[in-house]
Amino acid sequence: MSSYKISVIVPVYNVKEYIDETIKSIYNQTLKDFELILIDDGSTDGTYEMLKEYESKHNNIKLIKQENSGPSKARNVGLKEAEGEYIIFVDSDDLLPTDSFEFRYNLAKEKNADVIVCGTEKTTDGIERKPIARHMFNDGYRVLGKDNDILWALGPCNKIFKRETIEGIFFPLNIYYAEDQVFMMEAFLKANKLYATKHVVYYYRMRKNPGESLTQQISVNATKILKQVCTVWKMVSKIIDENTSNRNLANSIKVNYFYRLMIIDVWPSLDRIFRGKDEITKNESLNEINSIVSDVTDEQLKNLGRIKRFAFEKIVKNSKLTGTKKIKKIRNLMFMYKSVVKAKSLVRL
């Protein structure tokens, strides 16, 4: 028997400004039968001392301190320590509605689901909130490869996981962006029953300084992000192959995941890089994106839309073009793409 209904895993690093509000939102939950596993990832701003105070006041806290190693290792430590029937992840600067745990737990029991995917809202001040459109799902069971809307919500925090379902699944180390996509894809593939709901259980905080948040760093560290995403693509492709015996189904999942990865993670990074002035960075990025494009099928490329498909199929894969010419053509295409997007937005107005 599990000691708790839920294990709540929170990796923590230098969030003195936010952690008090986050922990209060956890202890304001209507469901009280949970353990809180706090993994301090080598904080240097006084955060750990704040966590020690909370530990002294609550007997359901497990506080673990590790050398700075990144969120993946911290979450993995939490997974190994978890004793709950179900597992929930919370990031150390985000917030929860008061029914977050109770709703997720009750729904998981009612639907006998291994993983529940819920709605998310983003907030900048903790008060005004706006739904994240791609996290708002119609209620119902989902089948990976058929219902591909859930591939747009590959973060772990708006979910609840049956602990036995994800036993042995861990976050990859040495990856600091999109690492949760590797974990989530394996969890989805191993879930016998996957259920989605539009009910909002999580408030994602948009920090004012995007460089502070790993998930917002695409705006300030595009080159590093692109390299990480290329590694993630290869890891996820392998996981899909290893966990899917039906080749047609595996290909369908890859096609849809590739589309999501390109739209959300790859294209924005390329846009910042190729419209910039650093030619060395552009060459490095061209090599990275070529490693992905050379590994995918025509079917995966054709779903990307005319401009993106042209960029990858006619420029990146074109062996007759030199690197310099490829960079120039992609740069011009990026400016054209921006103009098209801007024109469409003006038409809507």
Q: Is pLDDT above 60 for 217?
A: no
Q: Is pLDDT above 60 for 199?
A: yes
When pLDDT is cut at 50, 70 and 90, the band that residue 259 belongs to is very high
Q: Is there a domain that residue 17 lies in?
A: yes
The per-residue DSSP string of 159-225 comes to EEEETTTSTT--PPTT--SSHHHHHHHHHHHH-SSEEEEEEEEEEEE--SSGGGSGGGGGGT-HHHH
Same domain assignment for residues 33 and 157: yes
Burial environment of residue 225 by CB neighbours within 10 A (0 to 12, 13 to 18, 19 or more): buried
The residue among 212, 242, 263 that closes a domain is 212
> In degrees rounded to 5, what are phi and psi of residue 306?
-60, -45
Q: What's the average model confidence in pLDDT over 38-43? A: 96
Q: Is there a domain that residue 201 lies in?
A: yes
Q: Is there a domain that residue 293 lies in?
A: yes
Give the pLDDT confidence score for residue 276 in this predicted structure: 82
Give the pLDDT confidence score for residue 200 in this predicted structure: 97
Question: Which amino acid does the sequence have at 205?
Answer: R
Q: Is pLDDT above 70 for 334?
A: yes
**Tens digits of per-residue pLDDT, 273-331?**
888 888 888 888 888 888 888 878 888 888 888 888 899 988 998 889 998 999 999 98
Q: What's the average model confidence in pLDDT over 122-134? A: 85
Q: Which residue has the tokens 């739904």?
A: 131
Range of the domain at 186: 4-212
Give the pLDDT confidence score for residue 142 in this predicted structure: 95
Give the pLDDT confidence score for residue 214 in this predicted structure: 43
When pLDDT is cut at 50, 70 and 90, the band that residue 134 belongs to is confident
Q: What's the average model confidence in pLDDT over 17-40? A: 97
Same domain assignment for residues 206 and 227: no
Give the pLDDT confidence score for residue 336 in this predicted structure: 84
Q: What's the average model confidence in pLDDT over 81-108? A: 97
**Tens digits of per-residue pLDDT, 236-245?**
999 999 999 9
Show Cβ contacts of residue 150 under 8 Å, excluding neighbours closer than 6 positions.
117, 137, 142, 144, 188, 194, 196
Q: Is there a domain that residue 256 lies in?
A: yes
Distance between CA atoms of residues 120 and 116, nearest Å? 13
Q: What percent of the chain shows pLDDT beyond 90? A: 62
The residue among 180, 212, 244 that closes a domain is 212
Instruction: Specify which residues 140 forms β-bridges with.
Output: 196
Same domain assignment for residues 122 and 253: no
Q: Is pLDDT above 60 for 349?
A: no
Q: Is there a domain that residue 292 lies in?
A: yes
Same domain assignment for residues 207 and 257: no
Same domain assignment for residues 201 and 288: no
Share the mean pLDDT of the chain: 90
Q: Is there a domain that residue 33 lies in?
A: yes
Q: Which of 104-118, 141-155, 315-329 has the highest mean pLDDT?
A: 104-118
Same domain assignment for residues 170 and 275: no
CA-nearest of 138, 147, 156, 115 to 198 is 138
Q: What's the average model confidence in pLDDT over 200-222? A: 65
Same domain assignment for residues 25 and 147: yes
Q: Is pLDDT above 50 for 211?
A: no
Same domain assignment for residues 106 and 245: no
Q: What's the average model confidence in pLDDT over 115-140? A: 90
Q: What's the average model confidence in pLDDT over 126-148? A: 89
Q: Is pLDDT above 50 for 156?
A: yes
Q: Is pLDDT above 60 for 176?
A: yes
Same domain assignment for residues 143 and 96: yes
Same domain assignment for residues 202 and 262: no
Distance between CA atoms of residues 281 and 41, nearest Å? 30
CATH number for position 108: 3.90.550.10
Q: Is there a domain that residue 349 lies in?
A: no
Q: Is there a domain that residue 319 lies in?
A: yes
Q: Which residue has the higher pLDDT, 333 or 25?
A: 25
The residue among 189, 212, 235 that closes a domain is 212
As given in the structure block, the two tokens for residue 7 are 């294990």
Tally the domains of the chain: 2
Same domain assignment for residues 178 and 128: yes
Give the pLDDT confidence score for residue 347 in this predicted structure: 62
Question: What's the pTM?
Answer: 0.90
Same domain assignment for residues 120 and 74: yes
Q: Which residue has the higher pLDDT, 6 or 215?
A: 6
